[in-house]
Amino acid sequence: MSLKLSGWNDTIVALATPPGIGAIGVIRLSGEKAISIINDLFPSKNLEKQASHTIHVGFLKNGDKILDEVVVSLYKGPRSYTGEDVIEISCHGSPFIHQQVIDTCIEHGARLAKPGEFTQRAFLNGKLDLTQAEAVADLIASNTQASHKTALNNIRGGFSQALKDLREQLIQFSALIELELDFSQEDVEFVDRSRLLELVTNAREHTGRLMQSFQLGNVIKNGVSVAIIGKPNAGKSTLLNALLNEDRAIVSEIPGTTRDTIEEVLNIDGILFRLIDTAGIRNHSDDLIETVGIEKSLQKRKQADVVLYLFDVNEELPGDLSETIDELNREEIHFLLVGNKVDLVDEHSAREKFTYTSGVIFISAKSGLHLEVLKERMVDMVFQKDVSNESVIVTNARHFHALNEVHAALNDVIEGLHNKIPGDLLSLDIRRCLQYLGEITGEITNEDQLDYIFSKFCIGK
């Protein structure tokens, strides 16, 4: 492929499984010399004579020294992940063995791979497009069912196919318009303007929906931040514990978050909810509300995507609640109202008391009553934007920004068509769309951008 950069003929090696002790560890090589390097270390068989997609058991030796008994998987390019010759060595899971095997490969002519270099080669060899390559990184990082599903869909090319179709249609129009320009003296129109308008209008709607899906996509990937607020003794820490007991998520790291603001993560129906400032709840620092007023406390929580305002149904006065709601609305905070301790009264009278306030969820944090209703409403809040028909969800900020540009360019085309601007100007706007669409799928790209994208991968991928 013409994109192939200089310095890409060498053979790279890296550990493909997580570092540390495991049952097995997989070391991967890719490049022209992958097979010959391992053949030199594998006395029991001539690997150069073996067919692609075969596996071989034997000792890996550096001279007389046995490194390990291993399983070698052999893939010949272009039928491999990277499109080059690929060898995967499954060895025993000791970091010492891994290091020895990698060092020996380097000694015999391989080079340690940079982060994401295997996937970068797959992209450069045309095995994946850019959105698919990026989805590989997302898939590895996915920690809920929902994020796993979107990443898998992107790897299969769902997102890029939609964009490619659009791009192809636009290219056709663009070619026809440019043909018109060649015949400009004769005042002909090859391009049916009303069909172009229809296409572009549909495309604008589609990109609009994709852009909307970014919010959801982002949520699926990074989680929704939630703050539980309320007066002292409302039951905040009881609620926190009740939620955590049922749905605590085990997550290693969520991009863009720091440990000191995020303490706990819930996984509800595949959506991650990050409970922020839980230290504050545990230390009762919410007593702040009484001294400096709810406004201050809310400002502190403005960074939350969703606020749960928790109150004790026995203590709270309906008038106070209304004031709090006004405050929340003024601050443009997305909130759920949660009336707690309904186990102490009968639920009916609690509902009566707050009958002028719609949307209150009545629960008992202590007994767990109606907690599932609260969780359902939390999930509903995430999905409130109507993107349910969009099977493709944008999760990547780079794609989102390019889509914004596409959207703006499509707007210009539509405006141009309405104003009957000449073909050459129309053509400029269409090209701008094509440029940004191409940037998303990687048909148009530059080296810096590529380096940046792949540098975010882990080594060995």
Query: Which residues fall in the annotated binding site?
Result: 28, 88, 127, 233-238, 252-258, 277-280, 461
Q: What is the DSSP string of 34-77?
A: HHHHHHHH-TTS-GGGSPSSEEEEEEEEETTEEEEEEEEEEE-T
Q: What is the DSSP string of 292-360?
A: HHHHHHHHHTTT-SEEEEEEETTT--HHHHHHHHHHHHHTT--EEEEEE-GGGS-HHHHHHHTTTSTTE
CB of 379 to ligand GDP, least distance (A): 22
Per-residue binding letters, 433-452, with ligand GDP (x by CB under 6 A): --------------------
Residues 311-340 that bind ligand GDP (CB under 6 A): 340
CB of 83 to ligand GDP, least distance (A): 57
Q: How many residues bind ligand GDP (CB under 6 A)?
A: 17
Where do runs of H (alpha helix) occur along 223-277?
Answer: 236-247
Q: What is the DSSP string of 73-107?
A: EEE-TTSSSSSS-EEEEEEES-HHHHHHHHHHHHH
Encoded tokens for 293: 């007023």
Which of 341/375 has CB closer to ligand GDP?
Answer: 341
Give, as one character, the DSSP assignment of residue 367.
T
Residues 30-89 that bind ligand GDP (CB under 6 A): none
Residues 279-298 that bind ligand GDP (CB under 6 A): 281, 284
Residues 336-395 that bind ligand GDP (CB under 6 A): 340-341, 343-344, 364-366
- Phi and psi dihedrals of 312, rounded to 5? -85, 115
CB of 99 to ligand GDP, least distance (A): 50
Residue stretches of the annotated binding site for GTP: 233-238, 252-258, 277-280
Question: Measured at the alpha carbon of residue 11, what is the angle toward residues 6 and 16, in degrees to the nearest 5?
Answer: 120
Residues 234-263 that bind ligand GDP (CB under 6 A): 234-238
Which of 53/284 has CB closer to ligand GDP?
Answer: 284
Among 126, 232, 270, 318, binds ligand GDP (CB under 6 A): 232
Residue stretches of the annotated binding site for K(+): 233, 252, 254, 257
- 274 forms bridges with which residues in the sheet? 225, 265
Which of 50/241 has CB closer to ligand GDP?
Answer: 241
Q: How far is CA 26 from CA 41, 77, 98, 201, in A?
A: 16, 19, 8, 50
Residue stretches of the annotated binding site for (6S)-5-formyl-5,6,7,8-tetrahydrofolate: 28, 88, 127, 461
Could you list the residues that contact ligand GDP (CB under 6 A)?
A: 230, 232-238, 281, 284, 340-341, 343-344, 364-366
